[in-house]
Structure 1
Amino acid sequence: MSKTSGKFQIAARIAGIALVLAATSACSKIDKFHGYAPAPEELTEITPGLTTRAEVVARFGPPMSEGTLANNAVYYASSQFVHFGAFAPKEVDRQVVAFRFDENNITQDVARYTLQDGQVVSLDRRVTDDGIQDITFIGQLLGSLGRIDAGTFLGDS
Protein backbone atom coordinates (compact mmCIF):
# COMPACT_ATOMS: atom_id res chain seq x y z
CA MET A 1 0.00 0.00 0.00
CA SER A 2 1.40 3.37 -0.98
CA LYS A 3 1.50 6.46 1.22
CA THR A 4 -0.97 8.35 -0.97
CA SER A 5 -3.61 5.61 -0.91
CA GLY A 6 -3.26 5.37 2.89
CA LYS A 7 -3.76 9.12 3.25
CA PHE A 8 -6.71 8.95 0.89
CA GLN A 9 -8.38 6.22 2.98
CA ILE A 10 -7.91 8.26 6.18
CA ALA A 11 -9.29 11.38 4.50
CA ALA A 12 -12.26 9.37 3.16
CA ARG A 13 -13.01 7.99 6.64
CA ILE A 14 -12.86 11.46 8.21
CA ALA A 15 -15.11 12.86 5.47
CA GLY A 16 -17.55 9.97 5.95
CA ILE A 17 -17.71 10.52 9.72
CA ALA A 18 -18.22 14.27 9.21
CA LEU A 19 -21.00 13.58 6.70
CA VAL A 20 -22.80 11.20 9.08
CA LEU A 21 -22.52 13.71 11.95
CA ALA A 22 -23.83 16.54 9.77
CA ALA A 23 -26.74 14.43 8.51
CA THR A 24 -27.82 13.34 12.00
CA SER A 25 -27.60 16.85 13.44
CA ALA A 26 -29.68 18.27 10.54
CA CYS A 27 -32.48 15.82 11.31
CA SER A 28 -32.91 16.80 14.95
CA LYS A 29 -36.38 17.80 16.10
CA ILE A 30 -37.11 21.52 16.48
CA ASP A 31 -40.21 22.65 18.40
CA LYS A 32 -41.66 26.10 17.65
CA PHE A 33 -44.35 27.75 19.72
CA HIS A 34 -46.51 30.64 18.50
CA GLY A 35 -49.09 32.72 20.32
CA TYR A 36 -50.66 32.41 23.75
CA ALA A 37 -53.79 30.69 24.99
CA PRO A 38 -54.68 30.53 28.71
CA ALA A 39 -54.28 27.14 30.35
CA PRO A 40 -57.42 25.35 31.63
CA GLU A 41 -56.34 26.08 35.22
CA GLU A 42 -56.25 29.82 34.47
CA LEU A 43 -59.77 29.72 33.03
CA THR A 44 -61.21 28.74 36.41
CA GLU A 45 -60.67 32.36 37.50
CA ILE A 46 -63.22 33.52 34.91
CA THR A 47 -66.85 33.30 36.03
CA PRO A 48 -69.43 33.55 33.22
CA GLY A 49 -72.05 36.14 34.11
CA LEU A 50 -69.70 38.05 36.45
CA THR A 51 -66.33 38.68 34.78
CA THR A 52 -66.13 41.68 32.46
CA ARG A 53 -64.27 42.04 29.18
CA ALA A 54 -61.82 44.49 30.80
CA GLU A 55 -61.01 41.94 33.51
CA VAL A 56 -60.35 39.22 30.91
CA VAL A 57 -58.00 41.49 28.95
CA ALA A 58 -56.28 42.63 32.17
CA ARG A 59 -55.81 39.00 33.28
CA PHE A 60 -54.61 37.47 29.99
CA GLY A 61 -53.24 40.47 28.09
CA PRO A 62 -54.28 41.80 24.70
CA PRO A 63 -56.18 39.19 22.66
CA MET A 64 -54.94 37.81 19.38
CA SER A 65 -58.13 38.91 17.70
CA GLU A 66 -61.38 40.56 18.62
CA GLY A 67 -64.72 39.67 17.07
CA THR A 68 -66.95 42.23 15.47
CA LEU A 69 -69.78 43.91 17.36
CA ALA A 70 -72.20 41.21 16.21
CA ASN A 71 -69.89 38.48 17.53
CA ASN A 72 -68.58 40.43 20.56
CA ALA A 73 -65.80 37.98 21.41
CA VAL A 74 -62.06 37.90 22.03
CA TYR A 75 -59.75 35.08 20.98
CA TYR A 76 -56.44 33.80 22.33
CA ALA A 77 -54.62 31.23 20.20
CA SER A 78 -51.42 29.21 20.44
CA SER A 79 -49.83 26.64 18.14
CA GLN A 80 -46.97 24.18 18.40
CA PHE A 81 -45.06 23.14 15.28
CA VAL A 82 -42.51 20.32 14.99
CA HIS A 83 -39.83 20.63 12.32
CA PHE A 84 -37.52 17.79 11.21
CA GLY A 85 -34.59 18.70 8.98
CA ALA A 86 -35.59 19.68 5.46
CA PHE A 87 -39.23 18.67 5.87
CA ALA A 88 -42.03 21.21 6.20
CA PRO A 89 -43.09 22.07 9.75
CA LYS A 90 -46.09 20.09 11.02
CA GLU A 91 -48.62 21.56 13.43
CA VAL A 92 -49.04 19.14 16.32
CA ASP A 93 -51.08 21.25 18.76
CA ARG A 94 -53.42 24.22 18.51
CA GLN A 95 -55.42 25.86 21.29
CA VAL A 96 -57.99 28.57 20.64
CA VAL A 97 -59.80 30.07 23.63
CA ALA A 98 -62.84 32.18 22.80
CA PHE A 99 -64.48 34.49 25.33
CA ARG A 100 -67.95 35.63 24.27
CA PHE A 101 -69.58 38.66 25.86
CA ASP A 102 -73.09 40.08 26.03
CA GLU A 103 -74.04 43.65 25.09
CA ASN A 104 -72.83 44.87 28.53
CA ASN A 105 -69.37 43.26 28.03
CA ILE A 106 -70.03 40.58 30.67
CA THR A 107 -68.60 37.11 29.93
CA GLN A 108 -71.30 34.81 28.57
CA ASP A 109 -69.25 31.82 27.48
CA VAL A 110 -65.69 30.50 27.46
CA ALA A 111 -64.89 27.91 24.79
CA ARG A 112 -61.67 26.02 24.04
CA TYR A 113 -61.03 24.57 20.59
CA THR A 114 -58.13 22.24 19.81
CA LEU A 115 -56.56 20.87 16.65
CA GLN A 116 -58.48 17.62 17.19
CA ASP A 117 -61.84 19.45 17.24
CA GLY A 118 -61.34 20.40 13.62
CA GLN A 119 -63.60 23.41 14.11
CA VAL A 120 -62.78 26.40 11.94
CA VAL A 121 -62.65 29.64 13.90
CA SER A 122 -62.37 32.69 11.69
CA LEU A 123 -60.19 35.00 13.76
CA ASP A 124 -59.62 37.79 11.31
CA ARG A 125 -60.14 38.11 7.61
CA ARG A 126 -58.80 41.15 5.83
CA VAL A 127 -58.54 40.80 2.10
CA THR A 128 -57.50 43.67 -0.11
CA ASP A 129 -57.62 43.43 -3.87
CA ASP A 130 -54.22 44.35 -5.29
CA GLY A 131 -55.76 45.55 -8.56
CA ILE A 132 -53.24 43.62 -10.64
CA GLN A 133 -54.78 41.76 -13.53
CA ASP A 134 -53.49 38.33 -14.45
CA ILE A 135 -52.08 39.26 -17.87
CA THR A 136 -48.97 37.65 -19.30
CA PHE A 137 -46.03 39.66 -20.61
CA ILE A 138 -47.03 38.94 -24.23
CA GLY A 139 -50.60 40.02 -23.44
CA GLN A 140 -49.31 43.30 -22.03
CA LEU A 141 -47.20 43.91 -25.14
CA LEU A 142 -50.08 43.19 -27.49
CA GLY A 143 -52.44 45.31 -25.39
CA SER A 144 -50.16 48.32 -25.63
CA LEU A 145 -49.95 48.20 -29.45
CA GLY A 146 -53.29 49.95 -29.85
CA ARG A 147 -52.26 52.81 -27.57
CA ILE A 148 -49.32 54.02 -29.65
CA ASP A 149 -49.90 57.49 -31.11
CA ALA A 150 -48.51 57.67 -34.63
CA GLY A 151 -47.65 61.39 -34.31
CA THR A 152 -45.58 60.79 -31.19
CA PHE A 153 -44.00 57.72 -32.72
CA LEU A 154 -42.91 59.58 -35.88
CA GLY A 155 -41.76 62.69 -34.01
CA ASP A 156 -44.42 65.11 -35.28
CA SER A 157 -44.86 68.06 -32.98
Structure 2
Amino acid sequence: MFGTDFSLKACARVLGLVGVMALAGCQATYQNHGYVPPEEDLMQLAPGVDTRATVDDVIGAPSASGMLSEGDYYYVRSRVKHFGAFRPEVIERQVLAISFDQQGVVQNIERFDLRDGNIVPLTRRVTDNSVQDKGFLRQMLGNIGNINPADFF
Protein backbone atom coordinates (compact mmCIF):
# COMPACT_ATOMS: atom_id res chain seq x y z
CA MET A 1 0.00 0.00 0.00
CA PHE A 2 2.69 2.55 1.03
CA GLY A 3 5.95 2.54 -0.82
CA THR A 4 9.35 2.31 0.78
CA ASP A 5 9.94 5.92 -0.23
CA PHE A 6 7.16 7.06 2.14
CA SER A 7 8.43 4.98 5.07
CA LEU A 8 11.99 6.29 4.62
CA LYS A 9 10.73 9.89 4.63
CA ALA A 10 8.64 9.25 7.74
CA CYS A 11 11.58 7.56 9.48
CA ALA A 12 13.88 10.47 8.58
CA ARG A 13 11.35 12.98 9.95
CA VAL A 14 10.99 11.06 13.20
CA LEU A 15 14.77 10.80 13.61
CA GLY A 16 15.14 14.50 12.86
CA LEU A 17 12.49 15.35 15.48
CA VAL A 18 14.20 13.13 18.06
CA GLY A 19 17.54 14.81 17.30
CA VAL A 20 16.11 18.30 17.75
CA MET A 21 14.49 17.28 21.05
CA ALA A 22 17.77 15.77 22.28
CA LEU A 23 19.68 18.97 21.48
CA ALA A 24 17.02 21.09 23.19
CA GLY A 25 17.32 18.93 26.31
CA CYS A 26 21.05 19.70 26.55
CA GLN A 27 20.58 23.44 26.87
CA ALA A 28 21.78 25.04 30.10
CA THR A 29 19.22 26.67 32.40
CA TYR A 30 19.92 29.49 34.84
CA GLN A 31 18.27 30.33 38.16
CA ASN A 32 18.53 33.68 39.89
CA HIS A 33 18.13 33.92 43.67
CA GLY A 34 18.13 36.87 46.04
CA TYR A 35 18.39 40.63 45.68
CA VAL A 36 21.18 43.20 45.81
CA PRO A 37 20.14 46.86 45.50
CA PRO A 38 21.44 48.77 42.46
CA GLU A 39 24.30 51.24 42.78
CA GLU A 40 21.94 54.21 42.25
CA ASP A 41 20.06 53.34 45.46
CA LEU A 42 23.29 52.85 47.41
CA MET A 43 24.47 56.32 46.40
CA GLN A 44 21.61 57.72 48.51
CA LEU A 45 23.18 56.26 51.68
CA ALA A 46 26.03 58.01 53.50
CA PRO A 47 28.16 56.19 56.10
CA GLY A 48 28.19 58.05 59.41
CA VAL A 49 24.93 59.85 58.59
CA ASP A 50 22.15 57.40 57.72
CA THR A 51 20.60 54.98 60.20
CA ARG A 52 19.13 51.50 60.10
CA ALA A 53 15.65 52.98 59.51
CA THR A 54 16.93 55.03 56.57
CA VAL A 55 18.46 51.91 55.01
CA ASP A 56 15.13 50.09 55.39
CA ASP A 57 13.30 52.97 53.67
CA VAL A 58 15.79 53.50 50.82
CA ILE A 59 16.74 49.96 49.76
CA GLY A 60 14.39 47.70 51.71
CA ALA A 61 14.79 44.96 54.26
CA PRO A 62 17.78 42.63 53.84
CA SER A 63 17.61 38.99 52.83
CA ALA A 64 19.81 38.16 55.83
CA SER A 65 21.04 39.98 58.90
CA GLY A 66 23.55 39.38 61.66
CA MET A 67 23.05 37.00 64.55
CA LEU A 68 21.25 39.55 66.68
CA SER A 69 18.21 41.60 65.73
CA GLU A 70 20.46 44.68 65.74
CA GLY A 71 23.14 43.04 63.56
CA ASP A 72 24.57 44.02 60.20
CA TYR A 73 22.60 43.72 56.95
CA TYR A 74 23.52 41.32 54.16
CA TYR A 75 21.96 41.40 50.69
CA VAL A 76 22.81 38.32 48.63
CA ARG A 77 22.21 37.53 44.95
CA SER A 78 23.28 34.32 43.19
CA ARG A 79 23.08 33.01 39.64
CA VAL A 80 23.28 29.22 39.28
CA LYS A 81 23.84 27.30 36.04
CA HIS A 82 22.16 23.89 35.63
CA PHE A 83 23.35 21.74 32.73
CA GLY A 84 21.93 18.27 32.23
CA ALA A 85 22.89 15.76 34.91
CA PHE A 86 25.93 17.76 36.06
CA ARG A 87 26.11 19.37 39.49
CA PRO A 88 24.73 22.95 39.54
CA GLU A 89 27.47 25.59 39.32
CA VAL A 90 27.38 29.02 40.98
CA ILE A 91 28.54 31.36 38.23
CA GLU A 92 27.83 34.65 39.99
CA ARG A 93 27.35 35.66 43.61
CA GLN A 94 27.22 39.18 45.01
CA VAL A 95 27.07 40.06 48.68
CA LEU A 96 26.37 43.59 49.88
CA ALA A 97 27.27 44.05 53.56
CA ILE A 98 26.10 47.10 55.47
CA SER A 99 27.57 47.37 58.96
CA PHE A 100 26.22 49.55 61.76
CA ASP A 101 27.76 50.96 64.92
CA GLN A 102 26.27 50.65 68.44
CA GLN A 103 23.83 53.55 67.82
CA GLY A 104 22.47 52.02 64.57
CA VAL A 105 24.28 54.44 62.23
CA VAL A 106 25.74 53.08 58.97
CA GLN A 107 29.42 52.43 59.54
CA ASN A 108 30.48 50.79 56.25
CA ILE A 109 29.04 49.56 52.94
CA GLU A 110 30.99 46.77 51.22
CA ARG A 111 30.40 44.71 48.09
CA PHE A 112 31.86 41.21 47.57
CA ASP A 113 31.67 38.73 44.69
CA LEU A 114 33.25 35.43 43.65
CA ARG A 115 36.50 37.15 42.62
CA ASP A 116 37.05 38.27 46.22
CA GLY A 117 37.52 34.78 47.59
CA ASN A 118 36.07 31.35 47.91
CA ILE A 119 32.48 30.41 47.30
CA VAL A 120 30.59 30.64 50.58
CA PRO A 121 27.85 28.02 50.58
CA LEU A 122 24.58 29.54 51.74
CA THR A 123 23.02 26.60 53.54
CA ARG A 124 21.21 26.04 56.78
CA ARG A 125 22.78 23.92 59.45
CA VAL A 126 20.79 20.75 59.90
CA THR A 127 21.06 18.14 62.61
CA ASP A 128 22.95 15.05 61.45
CA ASN A 129 20.55 12.19 60.69
CA SER A 130 23.16 9.47 61.45
CA VAL A 131 21.97 7.25 58.58
CA GLN A 132 24.64 8.31 56.12
CA ASP A 133 26.33 5.45 54.28
CA LYS A 134 23.48 3.12 55.24
CA GLY A 135 21.18 1.94 52.52
CA PHE A 136 17.57 0.91 53.04
CA LEU A 137 18.32 -2.82 53.29
CA ARG A 138 21.20 -2.27 55.73
CA GLN A 139 18.90 -0.22 57.97
CA MET A 140 16.15 -2.86 57.84
CA LEU A 141 18.47 -5.83 58.40
CA GLY A 142 20.34 -3.98 61.13
CA ASN A 143 17.21 -4.00 63.30
CA ILE A 144 16.72 -7.78 63.25
CA GLY A 145 18.89 -8.46 66.30
CA ASN A 146 17.53 -5.47 68.22
CA ILE A 147 14.09 -6.95 68.92
CA ASN A 148 13.40 -7.74 72.55
CA PRO A 149 10.49 -10.19 73.05
CA ALA A 150 9.81 -8.70 76.50
CA ASP A 151 8.69 -5.47 74.81
CA PHE A 152 5.67 -7.26 73.32
CA PHE A 153 4.23 -8.43 76.68
TM-score bucket of the superposed structures, by smaller chain: 0.7 to 0.9
Match of 1:5 in 2: 4
Question: If you compute each CA radius of gyration, which structure gives the higher value, 1 or 2?
Answer: 1
Counterpart of 1:104, as a letter, is Q
Counterpart of 2:73, as a letter, is V
8 Å contact 2:44–2:58 — kept in the other structure?
no
8 Å contact 1:73–1:101 — kept in the other structure?
yes
Match of 1:96 in 2: 95
Give unpaired runs (5+ residues) of structure 1: 153-157
Q: Residues 137 and 46 from structure 1, CA distance in 2 versus in 1: closer, same or farther, beyond 3 angstroms?
A: same
- In the TM superposition, 1:1-157 aligns within 5 A as 3-69=2-68, 72-119=71-118, 125-127=124-126, 129=127, 133-134=130-131, 136-144=139-147, 147-149=148-150, 152=153
Give unpaired runs (5+ residues) of structure 2: none
TM-score by length of 2: 0.78
* Count of residue pairs brought into register by the alignment: 147
Q: Please give the secondary structure, in 2, of the residue aligned with 1:97.
A: strand
TM-score by length of 1: 0.76
CA RMSD of aligned residues (A): 3.0
Name the % identity.
Answer: 31
